[in-house]
Each structure stands twice: as C-alpha cells, then as structure tokens.
Amino acid sequence: MESSDRREYPLYTVDAFTAVPFCGNPAAVCVVTEDRLSDIEMQKMAAEVGLSETAFIEADTDEEFKTVSRFRLRWFTPTTEVPLCGHATLASAAVLFFVIGNQSEMLEFDTHSGILATRREGEEITLNFPLNPSTRQVHDRAGRNEDFLELFKYIVDEDKVLAVEYSSTTKKLLLRLHDNVSREFLENLKVDTQQLMKCQLTTEVRGVIVTVIGSAHKEIKAYDFISRYFAPWNGIPEDPVTGSAHTVLASYWSIVLNKTEMCAHQCSPRGGDLRIRLRGDRVELIGQAVVMVTGKLTI
C-alpha cells in the first residue's frame, strides 16, 4: 500500500482509576472520524496494542470531538469485543475532557450497553452505569454445584469461600471470601487462568471476581471491600481495575453493608481505587485517570 493510501488515527494510552502513573488499569483510546474502521480492523488494532481494552470513540468530524457531548463508543480486548468496559470508558472521557479539550460538563456514549453518561467533577470523572445484581448460588457440600467446584480448584480453596453469586447480565461469577481472610492473602492468591479456560461449564462464565470485606481489617479500613478480577475467557488473565466488575460488586456489597456509598480497592499488582454511589438501578463509579502516551496509529 502506498503511504498516501494509509490512514492515521489519534491513539492514546491512559491509566484509569488512579491518579498515579503506572498504576490503575491501562487502556488505549482511538479517536475515529469520517474514515470509519471495520470490525475486523478494530479487532486487529486491539490485538496490536495488546492492552486489556482498546476503546474506539466515533464522531462525524474532528471538530465534533471538541464541541458535541454525545459519541459512539465500542470496546475490544485483544481477542473479542465486549459489551461494557468501565476503565476504558473512563479513559475515553479523560481524553475528551483533558486532552482534546471538550468543554461539556457531561458526555454521553452510545454503546452496546445503552447510553452511558460521564461527568467531570474537578480532577475526577463519574461514570453512570447500569447496576448488575447477582443471585446466590449453592456451593456447599449439601448442594454441590459441580461447575463452581471445578473452578474453585484453580482459584481458591473451597473452605475460604463464604458465598458464591452469579450475574447473568455480565456472566461474572463472584466469590466472597470469609471475613477473616486478609488483604495479603487476596493479593498473593495464585489463580491458574490457563486451567480455568479448560473448565467445561454448563453455566457461562466470562469472568471471576474474588472479593472480601474491607472494614473488618485494620490494614484496609479505608475501603468497604476489596477485590481481584480474572477473565482469561476474554484474553485477560487478570484485569488491574475493572469498572464492569464493580457494577456487580456494588449491587452485592450495598445489600451486605446496607450502604449506597462505598469506597473500593482492586488489589491487583497495579491496584486502583473507586468511589461508588448507587442511584436506583444505576451505579456511579468515580475515579481519576492519567494520560500516559499520545500518538498516532497508521494502517
């Protein structure tokens, strides 16, 4: 292909849900105008970038990125398109607000999960997402669910698990550990993600959340709960900070703690913080972001 026939797209990498570089969850954000990308091209670009998510923001003209408040948005992992991604939405809003200079106080994204609103609050960005309730799953010896017991072998000892929940809307499995389990134990947990992918499950699982209460532990008293998230089925062995997982966690812990406002920490090696506010059947996820790289991707 001649160089004159190649197309250039602005591309950014952003650390989301953190105010500190090299922490939080990195996402790529690609800005797309009239030269549309095909689904195949977007998937190849996401694989090339290699981060857990690449977001594609679409508008009709370059000028609209500065002047309008509604955009089309899609998210791709290195292997597949996903219907919802929190940290890449936060990253997209950060690029529009803080790099491109969009002056709107609120931005809306038209996505496969409906219209998602983001709001600028000083240095923070608030995401408004659908709340995703989960349902209790029987996992004790009197009523074994062989699906989940098979997963436990590669995640955590069954005796450490207090409750199992499943979110059918997000296909995420939530494992709550007993309250006496420490933050250090969760941080050091070794999950065999390769074996997880080989499990033959009758219940479709696309991600596993492992979580423990925060207030019971002196060393994590600033947080209501902490978690880690594993999604090898989507090409993500462990996601550093996961907005979509917190739409499930927010629903679960709000019932357990009887709270509508909470602070959460995802204790992956990179780590990240979220503030959470429930609003009926919606949840607000609030965090910061750091733009790390600006450039262009040429195809």
Residue 125: name the closest of 289, 3, 5, 290 by CA: 289
Distance CA 251, CA 281 (A): 9
Residues that are catalytic = 53
Read off the tokens for 277: 């506010």
196 contacts 155 by C-beta, under 8 angstroms: yes
Phi, psi of 160 (to 5 degrees): -85, -10
Read off the tokens for 160: 């450490």
228 contacts 186 by C-beta, under 8 angstroms: yes
Distance CA 140, CA 132 (A): 24
- CB-based contacts of 188: which residues, under 8 Å, 6+ apart? none
- 68, 69, 72, 105, 152 from 101: Cα distances, Å: 11, 12, 18, 11, 47
Residue 162: name the closest of 107, 87, 113, 213 by CA: 213
Distance CA 267, CA 93 (A): 24
Instruction: List the beta bridge partners of residue 76.
Output: 54, 81
- CB-CB neighbours of 299 under 10 Å: 13
